[in-house]
Amino acid sequence: MRNIALAIVVLAVTIPAMGDVTITIDNDGNKVTVGYDCNDGEVVRAFALKIDVNNGAFVVGSAASAVDPCVADYYIYPGSISFTVVGPNTVIDQYGTPVAEQDANGGILEMASLYSENDPDPNRWDPPASSGDLAVFYLDCNGVGGTITLSEDSKRGGVVLEDPNEAFTLNLPDPLGICVDCLVVGQVVGGVYITQPMYDLWVGYGRPDCWCYPCHFRGDINGDGWIDFGDIAGSDGVGGTIFDGWLDSWNIQYHPCSDINNDGWIDFGDIAGSDGIGGTVMDGWLDGWNTGCP
């Protein structure tokens, strides 16, 4: 028994611990961020990651404009880099984009590092950080929720460490629900075209459901499909609806459900401003009082 215990101790001393590289994926509505974390100081030389979306969502815009790299360390894009010959030298013509391939169901991110103390750019003298965000992109989900799955693209090498012979464990994220927010940038929700500042404001106030009511923009504060006294003095779970919201927050204390046009203010724009159809609360109440959502 003593010999067995000694052998276990010897193995524990002589066999180096295997590090982990964890790939992360996070979403904020239709904004998706891919990141990485090396728990034992490993240095990743390159990433080739496959992204699959199961509901037909696609990256908004072209690959070049829609995917933004987050770190300067991984600035080599093997899937789209191009070279040109200048005299006796071959030089990089275009670095390309992080997207090596793309289709309606996702794509492949391919990013690599290149650094040297001889590089004229001092920002490229040191190896990449052990953790950080790799890229950000946006999805067009057509208002449908689904899941996004991330895996290694073995055809392009997957995840490669600085030392290709170093053993490590790669941890990939579980499938992630996407586009589950009722408010989506670039779509009309609650009668209002949603911009990024509107979405950021909505998130900051805890994603209130009222902004997603179909006729919130006409004064349906409580989401019952009617424009009536329930919207004037009923409760929105914060401090009342129109009357309490306007009395409490008229440019002083903000109640999001009383903010009809989603601009972050409770003011005349919510009473008689334009919603692109015919006004907000005033027209909504005049046209739809007790007749349902106009």
Residue 137: which of 32, 30, 55 has the closest Cα?
Answer: 32
β-partners of residue 148 are 53, 176
Written as tens digits, the pLDDT of the chain (294 aa) is: 444 433 333 333 344 556 889 999 887 767 788 999 988 778 899 999 998 887 666 665 544 455 767 777 888 888 888 888 888 888 777 778 888 887 767 788 899 988 888 888 888 888 888 888 888 887 766 656 678 889 999 889 999 998 888 888 999 998 887 766 777 788 888 777 888 888 888 888 877 888 888 877 777 777 777 777 667 654 444 444 555 555 555 555 677 877 777 888 777 666 654 444 444 455 555 555 555 565
pTM over 0.75: no
β-partners of residue 149 are 52
d(CA 5, CA 226): 76
List, in sequence order, every beta strand (DSSP E) within the chain: 19-28, 31-38, 44-53, 58-59, 68-69, 82-86, 89-94, 99-103, 106-112, 131-140, 146-152, 159-161, 168-171, 176-178, 188-189, 192-193
> What is the structure's pLDDT at 271?
64
d(CA 75, CA 110): 10
Q: Which residue do the tokens 């159809």 mark?
A: 277
Residues 281, 271: contact at Cβ < 8 Å? yes
**How many residues are listed for the chain in this entry?**
294
Angle (nearest 5°) at CA 108 between 112 and 153:
80
Domains present along the chain, CATH in parentheses: 2-178 (2.60.40), 188-288 (no CATH)
d(CA 152, CA 158): 5
